[in-house]
Amino acid sequence: MPRFGVCAWIYGDSPLDQTLSRIAAAGYDGVELPGEPEQFSPAEVRRLLARHSLAPLALTASCSYPSTRRDLANPDPDVRKDAIAYMVSCLRFAAEIGAPVVQMLASGESRLSPIATRGEEWAWSVEGMRQAAREAESLQVRVSVEPLSRYEAYLVTTAEDATAYVDEVASPWVGMTLDMFHANLEEPDIPRSIRTAGARLLHVHVADTNRQGLGRGHLDLAAVASALQEIRYAGAVVLEVMPPGPDPFCAIKDDRSPGILDGFIRESLTHLRRQWPQGSS
């Protein structure tokens, strides 16, 4: 049975203690933490997790480009080197706080086309991921590659892309994430994509089709849950929702956003528990 969690980044720049308090109050098992090792002390994060009785389910690597140099597919070898170093720092931080998974993107987020050729950038990204996978193995922390829709990335946008990418990396420490919001935009048959991913699937994000709380759009959550149960998925199911408003890269839209998100995460947990009645305490 999966554990249910929430991505902490959806509450923007709110202090981590406050964000964890909100997630715990809503009844979740755990949290997916921001992949910003330089911003947090591992000891302090462990203390806050214990205080709120939340498990560290994953780290979210933030790979926006060009605002950061976190682009494994970049033609500039120095940028790729920085991206690998960032990934290694996330893996080490995850190991220190006990998070089993680090989410990573195959290319820079918001870069929607190749700078070189797609084939070259694919090869650079795969090679960088292989280097990081060696560190992942030594730390016993897995890397999960997330396909983002064509509106947020370009190199790996579908479950088919992610499957090919993971298979080419060829490390048991690298798998894939499926995000139901992005899958709604890219996958013709989400349950089939889940079944095809199979054992490669390490992590799952959920939101409804409008990226709001579950039940506010037209996601067939029952079909998603059935497919996950069919492949005996044992990872976490983590809510990644956004309040209404412009800019998909901005978590908090206005003063009302935190309260709206509180409502979304509470009502979403009700929907999750209906599909996995034994999946959360």
pTM of the model: 0.96
Assigned domain for 97 exists: yes
C-alpha 130/C-alpha 121 separation (Å) is 14
Amino acid in the structure at residue 139 = L
Mean pLDDT of 237-248: 93
Does residue 9 fall inside a structural domain? yes
Task: Kindly report the average pLDDT of the chain as a whole number.
Answer: 96
The total number of structural domains in the chain stands at 1
Tell me what pLDDT residue 281 has: 43
pLDDT at 259 over 90: yes
Rounded to an integer, the average pLDDT of 32-46 is 96
Give me the CATH number covering residue 155. 3.20.20.150
**CA-to-CA distance for 89 and 67, rounded, in angstroms?**
18
Residue span of the structural domain in which 242 resides = 4-275
**281 within some domain:** no
- Using CA atoms, how far residue 163 sits from 42, 122, 200, 230, in Å, is 32, 13, 8, 18
Confidence of residue 280 (pLDDT cuts 50, 70, 90): very low
Which of these, 132, 130, 196, 126, lies nearest to 156 by C-alpha position?
Answer: 126
pLDDT given for residue 125 in this prediction:
98
127 in any annotated domain:
yes
Confidence of residue 246 (pLDDT cuts 50, 70, 90): confident
More confident residue, 197 or 248: 197
pLDDT over 60 (residue 244)? yes
Q: What is the pLDDT of residues 102-153, one digit of tens each?
A: 999 999 999 999 999 999 999 999 999 999 999 999 999 999 999 999 999 9
For residue 194, being part of any structural domain is answered with yes
Summarised one tens digit per residue, pLDDT across range 162-212 is 999 999 999 999 999 999 999 999 999 999 999 999 999 999 999 999 999
The answer to whether residue 280 sits within a structural domain is: no
Assess if residue 70 is contained within a domain.
yes
Over residues 37-57, the mean pLDDT reads 97
pLDDT (tens digit per residue) in 50-101: 999 999 999 999 998 999 999 999 999 999 999 999 999 999 999 999 999 9
181 domain-assigned: yes
CA-to-CA distance for 117 and 148, rounded, in angstroms? 19
